[in-house]
Amino acid sequence: MIDIDKIRADFPILKEKVNGKPLVYLDNAATSQKPQVVIDSIVNYYTTINSNIHRGVHTLSQVATDAYEEARLKLQQHFNAKKSYEIILTAGTTHSINIVATGFTSLLNKGDEIIVSTMEHHSNIVPWQMLCERTGAILKVIPMNYEGELLMDAYDELLSEKTKLVFLNHVSNALGTINPIQEIIDKAHAVGAAVLIDGAQSCPHLKPDVQALNVDFYVASAHKLCGPTGVGILYGKEEWLNKLPPYQGGGEMIKQVTFEKTTYADLPHKFEAGTPNIAGGIAFGVAIDYMNEIGFDNIAAYENELLAYATKKLLQIEGLKIYGTAKNKTSVISFNIGDIHPFDIGSIIDKLGIAVRTGHHCAQPIMAFYNIPGTVRASFSFYNTFEEIDALYDALVRAKMMLS
Ligand code: PMP
């Protein structure tokens, strides 16, 4: 069960006013808000234990190192990785994907095939296109139907012994579709391909078990999970992380450096060159604890209620059309009203204190599929309320009146 009053009291920003109106924050798919415990952990870090990690003998450095490594252990537990060193702390999903995409340059040959889907975020398209340019590999795309669900028969046809990699988001940021990743992973493995799942949009709503999924790589960003920006994870199976070359050279990622030859550090440090976002990593661990305390089953159940309520309510507005009507979806509603430009709707309801996202949501192929310039996207989190959905509805009715 969600104790909504208690939860809302944990998020100081929810008391803010925007344009003189109480903030109604419905842009959670872009980034989540942060509870006080996460904010406190960042302040505490800089106030009491700030120092560089992994290299100091002095006490503060050791305390900071322990706190940072404890966060890694929390993440290992949360994602159920077999080994803590399979959790690489990165700057976020985009960084994690680029580590893998760059690493595969030396592992692919001309004519090898890579599969992505129509509903990817640009950060799960562009790095693979760049990889194809470097290697001569070919990018294939799983199509989707009008509801925003992948066409699995087409996926079966794309798979062959030429397929080396499959990259897919667990949940689409623009549509909310939850993809059948277990089937995708199992079928890719049957032809010997590795799979990377982009969990940027799934992790705020569900708890992935990387061992049960048997996935090769799983990536996510802390900032969508009540944590800070600039930190994320790359989970990789040990065998894959050993096969991939380092992404960046620098301090922290070496065993020994001479001008003749440098040897690389063991996992996870091989992929963690330079001073990391120490406060961010620690706060990521605090955020994961916070969400687990609420419980992902409770979060999903409550968000599903919000989604059902909002879907029914918004569809009462004449001319409102929802894009992404998959049976299995998270609490995201992407829509347009008639032929009103999404930007105009977003700007008007912003004046009423309501924050939604408008545009292509870094998923232009989806917009091309529907032949629209973009959508208005309202995305709900476990700290949103039914009253906020009513406020969104009222604001949309007003916007529609003004713009029609
Ligand atoms: N993939 C998906 C599905 C996303 O929604 C996002 C963020 N909008 C990203 C990747 C990129 O995440 P980040 O900007 O945190 O690197």
Concatenating the DSSP letter of every residue in 238-289 gives HHHHHHSPPSS-STTSEEEE-SS-EEEPPTTGGG--S---HHHHHHHHHHHH
Show the low-confidence residues of the chain (pLDDT under 70): none
Which strands make up the sheet holding 357-359, listed edge to edge? 320-323, 332-337, 375-379, 357-359
Residues 130 and 74 in one domain: yes
The amino acid that residue 85 corresponds to is Y
Residue 101: C-alpha distances to residues 112, 216, 244, 367 (Å):
14, 13, 10, 25
Residues 45 and 147 in one domain: yes
Phi-psi bin for 141: left (phi > 0), alpha (psi -120 to 50), beta?
A: beta
pLDDT of residue 253: 87
What is the number of the ligand 1 atom nearest to the C-alpha of 362? 8
Q: Cα separation of 275 and 281, whole Å?
A: 12
Measured in Å, residue 320 CA sits from the centre of ligand 1 at 27
Residues 254 and 300 in one domain: no
Token pair for 206: 């569900």
Q: Cα separation of 144 and 87, whole Å?
A: 32
**Ligand 1 binding pocket includes 198 (Cβ within 6 Å):** yes
Single out the residue in 292, 320, 351 at which a domain terminates: 292
Q: Cα separation of 175 and 361, whole Å?
A: 10
What are the pLDDT digits (tens) for 113-135?
A: 999 999 999 999 999 999 999 99
Residues 267 and 327 in one domain: no
Which residue matches tokens 């040959």?
109
Q: DSSP secondary-structure letter at 179?
A: P
Residues 284 and 310 in one domain: no
**Ligand 1 binding pocket includes 32 (Cβ within 6 Å):** no
What is the number of the ligand 1 atom nearest to the C-alpha of 92? 16
Which helix H or strand E contains 186, and what residues bound it? helix 181-190
Residues 161 and 281 in one domain: yes
pLDDT of residue 184: 98
What are the pLDDT digits (tens) for 25-70?
A: 999 999 999 999 999 999 999 999 999 998 778 999 999 999 999 9
Residues 229 and 299 in one domain: no
Residues 47 and 22 in one domain: no
Q: Give the rounded percent of residues in the chain with a pLDDT score beyond 90.
A: 94
pLDDT of residue 250: 87
Tell me how many domains the chain contains. 2
Measured in Å, residue 403 CA sits from the centre of ligand 1 at 31
Residues 127 and 262 in one domain: yes
Residue nearest to atom 6 of ligand 1 (CA): 200
3-state SS class at 354: strand
Q: What's the CATH code of the domain at 356? A: 3.90.1150.10
**Ligand 1 binding pocket includes 98 (Cβ within 6 Å):** no
Domain containing residue 75: 39-292
Whether the CB-CB separation of 113 and 160 falls below 8 Å is answered with: yes
Residues 160 and 213 in one domain: yes
What is the number of the ligand 1 atom nearest to the C-alpha of 123? 10
Measured in Å, residue 169 CA sits from the centre of ligand 1 at 10
Catalytic site includes residue 132: no
**Ligand 1 binding pocket includes 201 (Cβ within 6 Å):** yes
Cβ count near 92 (within 10 Å)? 23
Single out the residue in 266, 292, 318 at which a domain terminates: 292
Whether the CB-CB separation of 259 and 48 falls below 8 Å is answered with: no
ipTM score of complex: 0.99
Measured in Å, residue 58 CA sits from the centre of ligand 1 at 37
Which residue matches tokens 């992505």?
116
**Ligand 1 binding pocket includes 31 (Cβ within 6 Å):** no
Residues 271 and 307 in one domain: no
From 95, 362, 381, mutation site for ligand 1 pocket: most ligand atoms within 8 A of C-beta:
362
pLDDT of residue 10: 98
Q: What's the CATH code of the domain at 196? A: 3.40.640.10
Measured in Å, residue 159 CA sits from the centre of ligand 1 at 26
Gyration radius (Cα) of the chain, Å: 22
What is the number of the ligand 1 atom nearest to the C-alpha of 221? 15
Whether the CB-CB separation of 66 and 54 falls below 8 Å is answered with: no
What is the number of the ligand 1 atom nearest to the C-alpha of 229? 15
What are the pLDDT digits (tens) for 348-392?
A: 999 999 999 999 999 999 999 999 999 999 999 999 999 999 999
From 31, 89, 117, 201, mutation site for ligand 1 pocket: most ligand atoms within 8 A of C-beta:
201
Residues 227 and 153 in one domain: yes
Single out the residue in 237, 259, 292 at which a domain terminates: 292
pLDDT of residue 384: 98
**Ligand 1 binding pocket includes 379 (Cβ within 6 Å):** no
